[in-house]
Structure 1
Amino acid sequence: MTVDLSVVYCGIKHESPFILAPSPATDHLHLLIQGFEAGWAGAVLKTVAVDSRIVSRVFPMVTRIEQENAFIGLQNIDLVSEHSVEIVEQNVRALKKRFPNKVVVPSIMAFTKEDWQSLTKRFVQAGADIIECSIWHPHGTEWTLCTKVQEPVGTEQIASWVKEAAGDVPVVIKLSALDSDIMATAEAVERSGANGVSAINTIKSITGVDLDTLIPYPNIAGLSTYGGLSGPALKPISLRCTAEIAQRVKLDIASSGGIATWKDCAEFLLLGASTLQLCTSVLRFGLGIIDELKPGLEGWMKEKGFQSLTDVIGKSLPYLVDHSRLPRGIQVVSHIQKEDCNGCGACCIACESGGHGAISLVDGLPQVEVNKCIGCGICRSMCLSKAITLIRPNGKQSTSL
């Protein structure tokens, strides 16, 4: 069986859903060329503003975030493209001439109606396939080129300005999970006439504090600031935003935030995304990660019998319901698969601390007292060896979290 990875997003055909998100990897022409030659279907160029050239950058701009030596994300204090609008225009023209079938998306940021529309018209004339608008920035708010807080009224107004100037070229609005009501803002984007949304932007954050110097990271000559969190830590939030937007409006969705593997890609597609924007994973693993994403997604689709992305997109949404609609009265209990258990005791600690004391160690292995277990699943969630399942008390039917 052959699998078709092409997708139509905002009326534009993409050869696959895999898009380079705005980042240092999309701010230089030679890297964009490498990305397209490697197999990426498109790229959102690093956000540019009318006054990009006056932005004073500071270094270091990026800090690693980890938990027990496991990489969970990056925090960046970067702002917009280091290039002028003129240079980015040249990049758009050069890319469309060399790669006419790739999707080139300038990301713009402005403060006034005149600047929003001027930037839009310039990039439309340069040959942009889609215009993406970055209305809110998670840091650098003193640099007032955009709104300090994304909200429905302002977003709808800006989106309508850009759509008016863009003509037939699709317009996408980037949304923030820190929005006071991201669903209301998505509805505002739909009312504006824009074609899609990108969800989500990085989240305002602090990496941590150096306990020797007492200075938060990153240390910029003795001072620090807030930054934008990206990477695996964002995935649950981004999945939630993708699903809620897909259930609320009829806009095409480009998902970003925590996408690193083909399995991540499949999950976002199942929850309503049409395209997938990757940034942190590209910085960590390189542009060649596309060679793992494509065959991984294709193999899974073949296994499930999906011939095209149309069969996949939004497939899991019907399973998401309000809490009040969840089935009641179904009893499950924990079951230890002893062949997979390493006897670490994490399940016992979890059950004793937050459960009902239903698990105890017997001869070095955990044992469940079924009459005490209520099936809360805390033990399963804490088991790193995945040795715990939840089953019906009669053992005949299992369920998963």
Structure 2
Amino acid sequence: MPTLATTVDGLKLPNPFVIGSGPPGTNLNVITRAFREGWGAVIAKTVSLDASKVVNVAPRYAKLHANDPKDVIGWENIELISDRKFEIWLDEFKKCKDQFPDGILIASIMEEYNHDAWTEIVERCQDAGIDSFELNFSCPHGLPERKMGAAMGENPEIVEEVVGWVMAAAKKPVWAKMTPNVTRITDPSRAAFRGGCQGVSAINTIRSVMGVNLDTLRPEPTVEGFTTPGGYSCRAVRPIALRMVMEIATMIRREFPGRTLSAIGGIESGGDAAQFILLGGDTTQVCTGVMKFGYECVKRMCDELLAFMEKHKFETIEDFKGKSLDYFTTHAELVRMQGERKAKDKAAAEEAAAKKMVRADDQWSGDEFVKQSDALARS
């Protein structure tokens, strides 16, 4: 009987489905709801020491629909990190762990380029009882204007340095959340591992403009007639996320064996999760999917992932983690392999034709007479 239970960086999860940092983990009420529904872990919305600088606007979401207007395939947000006081978060972290002592609660943290600030936020969060950290180096809007989020994540040297600061203070496992808005996502990921963190998370949202309203001529989402580029998520980003997860997992296998990867990007089903795990993910995060389907979607996804495992006779997540990485190669190698296969097919066809060629009068057949005649002719 397969099991979804898994242990990642010493964290014991009942399943690999993790609430991704964002609105689904924005306060104690929704975090505890997630644990009641059976999520493997919850990453709270990103916190900082000084929430007074965080001011959200409305509307702050825009959706991309398929031909069916009820089918949302893309989601843009211009939402910032938590605007709630840090002291409130510390209190809620403690209350959450009191209510769900076995629930894996992960603090997503973000600060400016300041050693003392990163050290303080780490120490105070772990004193409140959280189980792990995720470092937000990847928020693509708003915060980069303050040299936070993606402004750090785009610079491998800064990533390595800040991760080093965190690891000097952290007594809990640390994941660094990567931005996809770079040329090679392996560069900041490699820097994070050099800094000492146990794992990375990828991908955060893709910097985007959802579209322009052809009636008003204003880009969406429109706030006072204006907007700003935001972060794109939902299942439309999944192929890009799969590629980046594959690249990071391949790097981990070659350069940092034993480090971990939390996969993110358009996961809405157990089958989606299976693909990310096959490409090297240890866990799979869901954020926009919860906003579309509700916290209860974890039950369906668990059932779907178990069905996949039963079909292929996998007993544990580890049995198929990274199993599809072996099937990636270069385009030149694809050309070589296909040419080799075609040459073998041609040789086999010629050999088969030669076996059918009449070599004596007693081999002629009335049923095959035309084919035998053709075989004796030069093509």
Give the TM-score normalised by structure 1: 0.80
227, 233, 245: which is aligned to 1:242?
245
Provide Cα deviations, 1:341-397, integer angstroms capped at 9, x if missing partner.
xxxxxxxxxxxxxxxxxxxxxxxxxxxxxxxxxxxxxxxxxxxxxxxxxxxxxxxxx
1:75-105 Cα distance to aligned partner (Å, 9 max, x none)? 0000011211111112211111111211100
Pick aligned residue for 1:227 from 220, 225, 230: 230
Which ranges in structure 1 are unaligned for 5 or more consecutive residues?
332-401
Aligned partner of 1:45: which letter?
Answer: A
For residue 11 of structure 1, report the CA deviation from its aligned partner. Answer: 2.2
Which amino acid in 1 is paired with 2:326? Answer: P
Q: How far apart in 1 are the matches of 2:42 and 2:238? A: 20
Q: Counterpart in 1 of 2:156? A: 152
Question: Quick check: 1:151–1:179 contact (8 Å CA) kept in 2?
Answer: no
Q: Secondary structure at the match of 2:309?
A: helix
Please give the secondary structure, in 1, of the residue aligned with 2:338. coil
Q: Which has the larger radius of gyration?
A: 2
Aligned length: 329
Q: For residue 207 of structure 1, report the CA deviation from its aligned partner.
A: 0.5
The percentage of counterpart residues that share the same residue type is 34
Helix, strand or coil: the match of 1:132?
Answer: strand
Q: Secondary structure at the match of 1:172?
A: strand
Q: What residue in structure 1 maps to residue 338 of structure 2? A: 328
Return the letter of the residue paired with 2:313.
G
- State the SS of the aligned residue for 1:82: coil
- What is aligned with 2:284? 276
Structure 1 residues 163-178: aligned runs within 5 Å: 163-167=167-171, 169-178=172-181
Q: Which 5+ residue runs of structure 2 have no aligned equivalent?
A: 343-379
The separation in 2 between residues aligned to 1:182 and 1:229, in whole angstroms, is 17
The CA deviation at 1:142 is 2.1
Matching of residue 181 in structure 1 with residue 191 in structure 2:
no
Alignment partners' CA distance in 2, 1:38 and 1:115: 35
Q: 1:147 to 1:263 in 2, by over 3 A?
A: closer
Shift of 1:147: 5.5
The separation in 2 between residues aligned to 1:146 and 1:72, in whole angstroms, is 25
In the other structure, the counterpart of 1:72 is: 73
The letter of the residue matching 1:29 is: L
Question: Which of the two has greater helix per residue?
Answer: 2
Q: Distance between the aligned counterparts of 1:137 and 1:280, measured in 2?
A: 15
Higher relative contact order (CA 8 A, sep 6+): 2
Which residue in the other structure is 1:124 paired with? Answer: 126
SS where residue 109 of structure 2 aligns? strand
2-structure distance, mates of 1:211, 1:294: 41
The answer to whether structure 1 residue 9 and structure 2 residue 30 are counterparts is no
8 Å Cα contact 2:140-2:206 kept in structure 1: yes
- 2-structure distance, mates of 1:328, 1:315: 22
CA distance in 2, matches of 1:215, 1:143: 26
Give the TM-score normalised by the residue count of structure 2.
Answer: 0.84
Q: For 2:51 and 2:251, how far apart are their aligned partners in 1?
A: 35
Aligned-residue Cα RMSD (Å) equals: 1.4
2:93 alignment counterpart = 92
Confirm or deny: 8 A CA contact 2:176 2:200 kept in the other structure.
Answer: yes
Contact conserved, 1:92 with 1:126, CA < 8 A, in 2?
yes
Is the counterpart of residue 115 in structure 1 residue 117 in structure 2? yes
Q: Is the 8 A contact 2:140 2:230 kept in 1?
A: yes
Equivalence for 1:310: 318
CA–CA distance in structure 2, aligned partners of residues 291 and 300 of structure 1: 14
Taking the aligned partners of 2:115 and 2:136, their CA distance within structure 1 comes to 14
